Chains A and B, each alone.
Chain A
Amino acid sequence: EPEVTQTPSHQVTQMGQEVILRCVPISNHLYFYWYRQILGQKVEFLVSFYNNEISEKSEIFDDQFSVERPDGSNFTLKIRSTKLEDSAMYFCASSERTEAFFGQGTRLTVV
């Protein structure tokens, strides 16, 4: 069964460093998303991506964040100059239209 895969499963980084979280969406899906879940809190929408551009982004998705689909298969989330409060679980998801399939998540720890 096709699935969304995310790497790495856990990333530890020092405050101020840049991190890139990687995702391989399901191959025939057209919409791609990043979500964030701070420990103990709800899942928060960050950004959606369609037709090689951002289609929607939340207020959380500021200039510190960027997304890219560099090679037609990977979908990346870059966080520049990480802060302690960026520590969270980051989920990638993809969909053909509305039913989003989630990856297993990347746990980001900023120290």
Chain B
Amino acid sequence: AQTVTQSQPEMSVQEAETVTLSCTYDTSENNYYLFWYKQPPSRQMILVIRQEAYKQQNATENRFSVNFQKAAKSFSLKISDSQLGDTAMYFCALIPDTNAGKSTFGDGTTLTVKP
């Protein structure tokens, strides 16, 4: 079975500080993609960052970066210089390369950025 676990239901951070959201996963697939999605109060799902499992280099997208540890099956998201607009639910997701439909989402982490 394919699983994605986000162990932090809620987190908070002061504006301009850095926060890390954790995600661990389990899959029998050899190649897969990992994603972080942001869901603000509007409930729209917005792609934040993606990582191909075959790439060792950690993905970076402006203030967002990941720490991908393939052997440990860990995929954490670091948000630097947190902004009030980062307040949202964050979902970690895994999609195997062989089956684009078999995607699995974590339970989500609610992040609150405080002024």
Mark B8-46 against chain A: 1 for CB-CB distance below 8 A, else 0.
000000000000000000000000010101000011111
CB distance from B61 to the nearest CB of A (A): 13
By the criterion of a CB under 8 Å from any partner CB, how many residues of chain B are at the interface?
Answer: 24
Is there contact, CB below 8 Å, between A56 and B91? no
Checking B42, B93, B99 against A56 with a beta-carbon cut-off of 8 angstroms, the contacting residue is B99
A42-B91, A42-B108, A43-B91 known; A100 vs B103 contact (CB < 8 Å): yes
Q: Bound complex: CA of A100 vs CA of B100, how far in Å?
A: 9
Interface positions of A from 62 to 111, Cβ below 8 Å from B: 89, 91, 93, 95, 97-102, 104-105, 107
Residues of A within 8 A of B35 (CB): 99-100
For the A-B complex, the count of residue pairs with Cβ-Cβ distances under 8 Å equals 63
Interface residues of A, CB < 8 Å — how many? 26
Residue numbers in B under 8 Å from A91 (CB-CB): 45
Contact indicator per residue, chain A 28-67, by CB within 8 Å of chain B (1) or not (0): 0001010001000111110110100001100000000000
Q: Say if the beta carbon of B84 comes within 8 Å of chain A.
A: no
Partner of A33, one of B37, B42, B103: B103
CA distance A33 to B104 in the complex (A): 13
The CA of A104 and the CA of B33, in the complex, are separated in Å by 22
Q: Is B102 an interface residue (CB 8 A)?
A: yes
19 contacts between A and B (CB under 8 A): A31-B101, A42-B91, A42-B105, A42-B106, A43-B93, A43-B105, A45-B105, A56-B99, A95-B100, A97-B100, A98-B95, A98-B100, A99-B47, A100-B35, A102-B44, A102-B46, A102-B47, A105-B43, A105-B45
Contacts of A44 in B (CB 8 A): 105
